[in-house]
């Protein structure tokens, strides 16, 4: 049995603006996806997960590399990432193997916490060892990015890089990704219970910018300026400054139309409970908000008192890891 895990992530600053060339800061969190692979003596691939909407799915890969899926929806999002990961690694290895693949997740699906990247990265790591490739973390991140781009059509390398490498990532479109020095920042995640659609939210911001370029352009530039200013607060663990800039970032994301009442309630509950900052993380329209504050338990309890799921987490330096 080969087992690997990979972390989810939050955006501290910069989502949506990064699509338009502005920088963003992401951080790996200590909630993970766990993937295990066991080789079979035939060409069948069985995929199973209690945590993702996958139940006893079998995949037969023929000599042409075509996949026949039995027992599940072929368009199911997690399955598409897994199948593409299998395809990329099999092509690189020059061989096709049968195996049983099991996934366990501590991340809510569609929560904006990089669950698809963590599934992709941990799957690639398992298959790399199964095929004897022994890919390094950066290679896994690069293949993961190709997988996400194939599935999503348009993707950022940030999610798979952060999940593979761990820690804090500085990302700027068209430039290299940079892993920042280790930091300790107390986080609380609030989940609306509703999945957000990255594609829909990105399209909404694009349309808004097209219709009101002179208004929306400066908002996007301001988010970029927050990121450029805020990275110092992240690296020096200045929680008050980090939080104030997160609050401004949240207001600008709301102005772009990617918030909703659930996210606003989570953010307001977090701040009332003592969070120095709280904001949407990810695409918005649902999903999660992230709060920063020393009294994590009080913040978590306040979010739950408003009817939402909450969990305490921290930034982790551990990227993709063998279990």
Burial (0-12, 13-18, 19+ Cβ within 10 Å), 120: buried
Q: How far is Cα 140 from Cα 93, in angstroms, rounded to an integer?
A: 14
Rounded to whole angstroms, what are the CA distances from 276 to 50, 64, 97, 254, 290?
A: 36, 55, 50, 18, 11
* Catalytic-residue membership of 159: yes
What whole-number distance in Å separates Cα of residue 248 and Cα of residue 7? Answer: 27
Distance, first Cα to last Cα, the chain: 10
- Residue 305 burial (CB < 10 Å; 0-12/13-18/19+)? exposed
Q: Cα separation of 209 and 80, whole Å?
A: 31
Catalytic residue among 159, 225, 240, 268: 159
Eight-state DSSP code of residue 317: -
Nearest to 313 by CA among 119, 31, 112: 31
Taking the C-alpha atoms of residue 129 and residue 148, their distance in angstroms, rounded to an integer, is: 21
Q: What is the 3-state secondary structure (H, E, C) of 156-224?
A: CCHHHHHHHHCCEEEEECCCCCEECCCCCCEEEEEECCCCCCHHHHHHHHHHHHHHCHHHHHHHHHHHH
* Active-site amino acid positions: 159
């Amino acid at each position: 049995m080969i087992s690997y895990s990979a972390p989810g992530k939050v955006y501290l600053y910069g989502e949506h603006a990064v699509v338009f060339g502005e920088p963003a800061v992401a951080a790996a969190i200590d909630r993970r996806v766990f993937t295990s692979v066991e080789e079979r003596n035939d060409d069948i691939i069985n995929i199973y997960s209690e945590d993702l909407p996958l139940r006893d799915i079998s995949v037969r890969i023929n000599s042409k590399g075509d996949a026949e899926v039995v027992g599940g929806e072929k368009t199911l999002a997690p399955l598409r990432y897994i199948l593409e990961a299998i395809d990329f690694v099999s092509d690189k290895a020059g061989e096709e193997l049968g195996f049983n693949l099991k996934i366990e997740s501590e991340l809510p699906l569609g929560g904006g916490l990089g669950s698809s990247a963590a599934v992709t990265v941990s799957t690639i790591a398992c298959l790399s060892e199964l095929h004897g490739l022994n890919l390094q973390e950066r290679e896994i991140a690069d293949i993961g990015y190709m997988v996400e781009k194939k599935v999503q059509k348009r993707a950022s390398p940030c999610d798979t890089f952060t999940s593979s490498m761990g820690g804090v990532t500085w990302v700027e479109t068209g430039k290299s990704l940079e892993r920042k020095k280790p930091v300790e920042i107390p986080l609380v995640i609030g989940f609306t219970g509703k999945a957000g659609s990255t594609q829909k939210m990105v399209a909404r911001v694009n349309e808004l910018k097209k219709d009101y370029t002179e208004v929306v352009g400066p908002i996007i530039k301001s988010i970029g300026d927050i990121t450029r200013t805020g990275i110092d607060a992240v690296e020096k663990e200045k929680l008050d400054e980090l939080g104030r800039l997160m609050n401004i970032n949240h207001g600008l994301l709301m102005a772009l139309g990617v918030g909703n009442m659930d996210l606003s309630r989570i953010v307001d509950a977090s701040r009332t409970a003592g969070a120095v900052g709280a904001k949407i993380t990810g695409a918005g329209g649902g999903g999660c908000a992230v709060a920063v504050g020393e009294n994590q338990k009080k913040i978590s309890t306040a979010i739950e008192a408003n009817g939402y799921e909450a969990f305490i987490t921290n930034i982790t330096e551990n990227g993709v890891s063998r279990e």
